[in-house]
A and B are shown apart, each in its own frame.
Chain A
């Protein structure tokens, strides 16, 4: 009988890195289904290309760093799936590839790869292409226009609700269209009901923090109610702010990114609330129609600081409590 030595505990939960990342992949797949429904097979082609580029570049970086590769790492797959979903379906393939490479080669791997990156790779890649090609990134085609897989794209271009809000107009889409995602926008971020379901799924699977998501959405609601961009229609303004752009997508997949968000629940809620405020400030004063990726990147830089401040506060409270307890005894 050959026995091995192990440190306690001797039983472990069934969750592992693959299942945690697999949850995110599972949550992203319905969005691809919806994108294919609205824009045809081009959406799926973009996704497959992006995943391949991310996965291969990540693997190469790990090889270069001399790390042992023995396990399927799904995190580049998640990054690769997120990036095309936040771009219009008519985006050239080359831009997706640039965003992927920037995400993996500049944002993720130089900091040490999985779990060590300070900034969210997908948000970083998207921010890069947004600044470089803003006219392509914010050029949306109308839903149900079947786009060709290759070659010149000839499709009707429409302004997204986020753009109309930015310009001081009123989005003309009605309530049900907004909820079912039948409005121009990034190919995966318009399906509000599907995204809400994804959020619930991830909260139930404990991959996402429901309180943080509520804190973010609550801050946005307060901002939209107090400073409406549609004059005189506060509730309408709240609804369009919540549904337009990539806001809900960001709540589900950026705010709850394991590596770049704070660790404690208290600091997660504070982080989410500030991120909501920063997103709204970007919408009011930023140059682009949607600034959530920039808000997320900005907040990523402060995640560690928020955690440390919370830790200091919590430990002070804890020590006070312990002192009181020892006085009583």
Chain B
């Protein structure tokens, strides 16, 4: 059990009804499933190196960070990691594309965790699930099979925070969907041609989790689930950190796509100005002062940013969420991060030039 005394925000999760609906397959007939080569022998006698080679051949990508699974496994094996954590945290609203497969394809997940544990040589393993979701039809059990569930509690961004804690503890964190794909690659010889996507939002008629072929367009998935209203915004990724797209017909599903959220309303263009309430500084999970950083970045006074540790910003969007003036604080800070780096390099170059003269 991990306790957090950190800052953050409480979000309405809105995971239902997608989470309780059955995981449906929605495959593109023009993309047949690919199978890896090589014979299926007795799996228990296959060595870790061979299993890593299978993961490499199957082309499995970790959905949480976009790294190839075999690289992560090799690295964890090299570092002699003690614990393996299957990440099914899903703390962003609307998104349940890790939780839903974890509960509905439990056998495959357990098989995948056991395989990964064997590859890494870890002594312990657990599945991490975000606890603070309310109004959900699913009750989180104590154990999935033989694998204990670690309940992650706390405010958003819980997933990011838990990962930083795991990193300091010699733990490997691997996405649960990638582990399901690992199981399929080893036992069923299937390469990764699909990924799990949540299609949700307030104008989707039947919000649900789909297993969709990689390479399908966002439009196809939206059409499959049906739209009850004309959406004003379509977001790929989570509702807090995903990016809005303007062309649904040419945006394709990638292994990292965890959700497609369509919103009916565009939030109001009210041209509010900052009233200086300081709520952003109270909720920032990294303990920064988004109020001052935002002001200095918009005024281009980079010299003032010396004490503000702008490089620690994780872009979680908490400050923008809470802002009563609806300012785009988080995206301005992410832009400022890059500009501040350029400014520092500029300063360094100037100083070197001065000392050379």
Distance in Å from the Cβ of A323 to the closest Cβ of chain B? 13
**Is A10 a contact partner of B261 (Cβ separation < 8 A)?**
yes
Distance in Å from the Cβ of A65 to the closest Cβ of chain B? 12
In B265-289, the 8 Å CB interface with A consists of 266-267, 270-279, 281-282, 287, 289
Known: A11-B239, A115-B274. A314 touches B287 (CB 8 A): yes
| A263 with B321: CB separation less than 8 A | no
Is B230 part of the contact surface with A, judged by Cβ < 8 Å? yes
Q: When each residue 221-244 of chain B gets 1 if its CB lies under 8 Å from chain A and 0 otherwise, what string results?
A: 000000000111111000111111
B168 touches A328 (CB 8 A): yes
A8 beta carbon closer than 8 Å to chain B: yes
Q: How far is the CA of A323 from the CA of B331 in the complex (A)?
A: 28
Contact of A6 among B244, B312, B323 (CB under 8 A): B244
Could you say which interface size class chain B belongs to? 35 or more
Partner of A8, one of B242, B273, B308: B242
Q: How far is the CB of B70 from chain A (nearest CB, A)?
A: 24
Which of chain A's residues have a CB closer than 8 A to the CB of B324? 13, 15-17, 19-20
CB–CB A75/B275 < 8 A: yes
- Give the residues in chain A near B168, CB-CB below 8 Å: 325, 328-329
A175 to chain B, nearest CB (A): 36
* A287 touches B (CB below 8 Å): no
| Contact A11:B240 (CB < 8 A) given known A68-B271, A328-B168 | yes
Least Cβ–Cβ distance between A61 and chain B, in angstroms = 14
Query: Would you call B231 and A262 a contact (CB within 8 A)?
Result: no
User: Which of B245, B274, B308, B320 is the one whose CB lies under 8 Å from A315?
Assistant: B308
Say if the beta carbon of A231 comes within 8 Å of chain B: no
Q: Is the CB of A1 within 8 A of B230?
A: yes
Within 8 A of A (CB), among B155-197: 168
Given contacts A1-B248, A265-B282, contact A307 B275 (CB under 8 A): no
Contact of A17 among B289, B309, B325, B328 (CB under 8 A): B325
Tell me whether B282 and A4 are in contact (CB under 8 A): no
Contact pick for B242, options A10, A19, A268, CB 8 Å: A10
**B314 interface residue per 8 A CB criterion:** no
Q: Is A64 on the interface with B (CB-CB < 8 A)? A: no
Query: Do residues A263 and B289 form an inter-chain contact, with CB atoms below 8 A?
Result: yes
Confirm or deny: A60 has a beta carbon within 8 angstroms of a beta carbon on chain B: no
How many residues of A are in contact with the other chain, CB < 8 A? 49
Assess whether A3 is in contact with B248, with CB atoms less than 8 Å apart: yes
* B235-A10 in contact (CB<8A): yes
Complex formed: what's the CA distance from A153 to B273 in Å?
43
A320 contacts partner chain B, Cβ-Cβ < 8 Å? no
A311 contacts which chain B residues (CB < 8 A)?
Answer: 289, 292, 307-308
CB < 8 Å neighbour of B276 from A11, A19, A115, A319: A115
* Residues on B with beta carbons closer than 8 Å to the beta carbon of A12: 267, 320-321, 323, 326
B239 touches A3 (CB 8 A): no
Interface centre among B243, B276, B287, B291 (most CB of A within 10 A): B276
Q: Is A9 within 8 A of B308, CB to CB?
A: no
The reply to whether B245 and A263 contact each other, CB–CB distance below 8 Å, is: no
Which residues of the other chain, A, contact B241 by a CB distance below 8 angstroms? 8-9
Interface presence of A63 (CB below 8 A): no
Total cross-chain contacts (CB, 8 A): 145
| Contact assessment for A17 and B276 in the assembled complex, using a CB-CB cutoff below 8 Å | no
Query: B277 near A16 (CB under 8 angstroms)?
Result: no
Residues of B within 8 A of A71 (CB): 270-272
Contacts of A325 in B (CB 8 A): 168
Q: How far is the CB of A265 from the nearest CB of chain B, in Å?
A: 6
**A258-B321 CB under 8 A given contacts A5-B244, A318-B309:** no
A114 CB within 8 Å of chain B: yes
Instruction: Indicate if the CB atoms of A13 and B322 lie closer than 8 Å.
Output: yes
Question: CB-CB < 8 A to B328: which residues of A?
Answer: 7
Q: Does A173 contact B (CB under 8 A)?
A: no
Q: Which of B240, B270, B276 contacts A259 (CB 8 A)?
A: B276
Interface centre among A6, A19, A113, A260 (most CB of B within 10 A): A6
Find residues 268-283 in chain A having any chain B CB closer than 8 Å to their own CB.
Answer: 268
- Indicate which residue in A13, A21, A264, A328 contacts B281 across the interface (CB closer than 8 Å): A264
A4→B291 contact, CB < 8 A: no
The verdict on A312 contacting chain B, using a C-beta distance below 8 Å, is: yes
Q: Which residues of B contact A307 (CB under 8 A)?
A: 289, 292
- The complex places the Cα of A304 from the Cα of B40 at a distance, in Å, of 69
Measured CA separation A315–B292 after assembly (Å): 14
Q: Which residues of B contact A75 (CB under 8 A)?
A: 275
- Minimum CB distance partner of A258 in chain B: B277
Supposing A20-B277, A114-B273, A265-B282 touch, asked if A4 and B266 sit within 8 A by C-beta, the answer is yes
Question: A151 an interface residue at 8 Å Cβ cutoff?
Answer: no
Q: Which residue of A lies closest to B9 (CB)?
A: A13
Tell me whether A9 and B320 are in contact in the complex, defined as CB-CB below 8 angstroms, given that A1-B248, A16-B272, A264-B278 are known contacts.
yes
Using Cβ atoms and an 8 Å threshold, which residues of chain A touch B243? 8
Question: Do B307 and A17 have beta carbons less than 8 Å apart?
Answer: no
- Candidate in B240, B278, B331 with the most chain A CB atoms within 10 angstroms: B278
B340 interface residue (CB < 8 Å to A): no
Question: 1/0 per residue B303-347: CB within 8 Å of A?
Answer: 000011100100001001111111010110000000000000000
CA distance A142 to B101 in the complex (A): 73
Once bound together, how far apart are the Cα atoms of A21 and B324, in whole Å?
Answer: 10
Q: Which of A47-84 contact B (CB under 8 A)?
A: 68, 70-71, 75
Known: A6-B266, A16-B270. 9 other contacts (CB 8 A): A5-B246, A7-B320, A8-B241, A9-B241, A9-B317, A11-B321, A16-B326, A17-B272, A207-B277
- Jot down 5 A-B pairs with beta carbons below 8 A, ordered by A: A8-B242, A8-B331, A10-B261, A13-B324, A115-B325
Query: Which residues from chain B sit less than 8 Å from chain A, CB to CB?
Result: 9, 11, 93, 168, 230-235, 239-248, 261, 263, 266-267, 270-279, 281-282, 287, 289, 291-292, 307-309, 312, 317, 320-326, 328, 330-331
Residue numbers of A with Cβ under 8 A of B are 1-13, 15-17, 19-21, 68, 70-71, 75, 113-116, 206-207, 258-265, 268, 307-308, 311-312, 314-315, 318-319, 325, 328-329
